[in-house]
Structure 1
C-alpha cells in the first residue's frame, strides 16, 4: 500500500489566500499531512496482486477439494464392497438355517 503525496506548501498558500492566518494554515496543513500519511490507499498494483493471490489460493483449494473427494469416493467404494460381502455372508447363513 502507498501513502498519498501531499503538498503542504501549496495547501498553506491556498488557506492564507482564503484569509486564514499563516499559523492556522501551517497547523492545518501539517495535520492533513499526518492524516494522509497514516491512511493506506490501495493502488491498482496492490489490487492486481491481491487478485492474483486470491486466484492462486482458490485454485489450490479447488485442487485440494478434488483430491479429498477422490479419496472419499475410494473409501465409499470399499465400504460398499465390504457391506456386499457382509450381506452375502448373512444371507448364506440364513439360507443354511432354512436348508438344515
Structure 2
C-alpha cells in the first residue's frame, strides 16, 4: 500500500487566502497530511496480486466443482443401471410366474 503525495505549502496558502489564520492553516495542513499518510491505498501492483489470488481460488473451486459433478454423474449412472436391472428382474419374475 502507498500514501498520497500531499503539498502542505499549497494547502496552507489556499487556506490563508480563504481567510484562515496562518496558525490554523498550518495546523490543518499538518493534520490533513497525517491523515493522508495513514490512509492505505491500493497500488496497481496490489490489485494485480489480489486479482491473481482470486483467480487462483476460482480455478480451485471450478476444479472441485468439476470433480463433484463427475462423481454425481457416476452415481446417477450407477443408480440408473441398478434400477434398470431391478426392473428387468421384476419383469422376468412376473413373466415366469405367469407362464
Shift of 1:78: 0.9
1:1-100 pair list within 5 angstroms: 1-16=1-16, 18=17, 19-99=19-99
Report the TM-score, using the length of structure 1 for normalisation.
0.80
Report the TM-score, using the length of structure 2 for normalisation.
0.81
Q: Which runs of 5+ in 1 are unaligned?
A: none
Shift of 1:10: 4.4
Structure 1 runs (4+) deviating above 2 angstroms are 5-16, 37-40
1:4-34: per-residue Cα shift (whole Å, max 9, x none)? 1324344334434x25312111221123123
Q: Which runs of 5+ in 2 are unaligned?
A: none
Paired positions, count = 98
